[in-house]
């Protein structure tokens, strides 16, 4: 499925270029790299809104997001396996629905934890 196109008002159609001294560039680079954003997103988010204080995500939070993403992937694999086993008759519909219900709850919880870790 293709991404929805943006309206004319939302299209990024203007390019901004500027030069920095080596020292200024190093400061700028450290800030956008610490933010975890791409340069253009960093500029739009922080310069255009006058939000120049950068709070870098902690290493613990970044690790938590990585691990929670892996857990989410495993949940998806378990749901896929349960679906295959249900279709082949290895699971009855009641057990299958219980498994999917628990996996959905677990996935929702993991998503909340990912969102919290990214804050």
- pLDDT at position 1, please? 44
CA angle at 60 for the pair 54 and 64, rounded to the nearest 5°: 110
**Could you report the per-residue pLDDT of 69-107, keeping only the tens digit for each?**
888 889 989 999 999 999 999 999 999 999 999 999 998
pTM of the entire predicted model? 0.46
Q: Which has the closest alpha carbon to 57: 38, 34, 37?
A: 34
**Could you report the per-residue pLDDT of 8-49, keeping only the tens digit for each?**
557 888 888 888 888 888 888 888 888 878 888 888 887 778
Q: 82, 96 in Cβ contact below 8 A?
A: yes
User: Does residue 6 carry a pLDDT above 80?
Assistant: no
């Amino acid at each position: 499925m293709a991404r929805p196109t943006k309206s004319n008002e939302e299209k990024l159609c203007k390019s901004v270029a500027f030069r920095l001294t080596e020292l200024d560039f190093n400061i700028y680079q450290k800030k956008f790299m610490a933010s975890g954003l791409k340069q253009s997103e960093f500029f739009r988010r922080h310069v255009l809104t006058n939000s120049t204080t950068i709070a870098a995500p902690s290493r613990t939070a970044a690790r938590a997001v990585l691990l929670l993403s892996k857990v989410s992937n495993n949940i998806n694999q378990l749901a896929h396996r349960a679906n295959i086993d249900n279709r082949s008759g290895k699971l009855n519909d009641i057990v299958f629905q219980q498994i999917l219900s628990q996996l959905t709850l677990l996935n929702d919880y993991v998503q909340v934890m990912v969102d919290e870790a990214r804050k």
